[in-house]
Copies of this chain bind each other. A is one copy, B any other.
Amino acid sequence: MSRIVNVAAAQLGPIQRADSRADVMERLLAHLHNAHAMGCHLVVFPELALTTFFPRWYMEDPAEIDAFYEREMPGPQTQVLFDTARRLGIGFYLGYAEIALDDAGCPHRFNTSILVGADGGIIGRYRKVHLPGHGENEPWRAFQHLEKYYFEPGDAFGVWRGFGGVMGMALCNDRRWSETYRVMGLQGVEMILLGYNTPVHNPPAPEHDDLSMFHNQLVMQAGAYQNGTWVVGVAKAGKEEGCEMIGGSCIIAPSGEVVAACSTKGDELAIARCDLDLCNSYKSTTFNFAKHRRPEAYRMIVERRGAVVPQA
């Protein structure tokens, strides 16, 4: 099997609240077709790629809230994406809001991504571990970031065999945490797929707004290099319901170098021919974990959640 994966970072411009699933599906299908025409094997869509980024509003009406979630995947409105992908022989990563029923029939809500193979079958599902923002309405904000209100957190970072290598998934805020990459690195990940929705403006820390694009790239570059893995970061970008979101979708090599990037805030493809074997020289030298890691010195990472500062 070839170790070359031709990947498209399929950035989306804004999705407004009034846009239907059918409107969005048209844009996703255009991305699939264009990527296929350029020989891509895998198309990476953003986080929550089927709707507007609804955690920016505080809502209480369950019917209003549930309209943003998918109860089945594929479902009646998304089946066409799976069918088209299978017909084209192209895989995809897709982020969406998921309602899952437990054995008692009780609904659980997650910020989810799936990896779909070239045969249209679901290879893996990931539920976002690092939910950012807050859990209660904070009316002082220009807009909310209520992910802790709308979602339960996932509990693990996994990897899946696919596309000739070891694939990992993450979502948005996960990318800022070095643990995200390391836990997948410890499972031999060779390509991490990662969708995001990142407002330019962070109401609690507006002093960082100018640096959003820099931070976005910095964390993904470091995560790639420090684990010898490809990282494909894909934005939903532009002005969505009055809220400006960063673009900056890019494909990062295991060297940490950006090898392809979007330059707009609209629907745009950034494409790279990714050789998974480029991971090897990092994983076997500087980042030969078995040889150089010192887990006995890392225990604090799992033994405490918050910082404990020594007394003055």
Contact = CB atoms under 8 A, between A and B. Distances in A.
Interface centre among A153, A223, A285 (most CB of B within 10 A): A285
Contact of A129 (B159, B161, B294, B303): B294
A104 to B, nearest CB: 23
Nearest to A1: B312
A186 interface: yes
6 contacts: A161-B310, A177-B293, A182-B301, A288-B306, A290-B307, A295-B303
A163 interface: no
Contacts of A293: 177, 179, 305-306
Interface in A167-184: 173, 176-179, 181-183
Interface stretch (A56-64, A89-97, A214-222, A266-274): A214-222
B178 A222 contact: yes
Interface residues of A, number: 74
A205 interface: yes
A186 B155 CA distance: 21
Interface in A261-312: 281-310, 312
A219 to B, nearest CB: 6
B310 A130 contact: no
Given A178-B182, A301-B301, A255 B310 contact: no
Given A166-B310, A214-B257, A290-B307, 6 more contacts: A176-B226, A179-B182, A185-B307, A187-B307, A290-B306, A295-B305
Given A205-B281, A285-B204, A309 B166 contact: yes
Contact of A222 (B222, B283, B290, B301): B222
Interface of A: 129-132, 153-157, 159-161, 166, 173, 176-179, 181-183, 185-188, 202, 204-205, 207-208, 211, 214-215, 218-219, 221-223, 225-226, 255-257, 281-310, 312
B304 A295 contact: yes
B188 A297 contact: no
B297 A207 contact: no
Contacts of A215: 225, 256
Contacts of A188: 307-310
Contacts of A154: 297
A199 to B, nearest CB: 12
Contacts of A130: 292, 294
In the A-B complex, list the 3 residue pairs whose CB atoms are closest, starting with the nearest. A290-B306, A188-B309, A178-B178
A281 B161 contact: no
Contact of A296 (B155, B181, B219, B222): B155
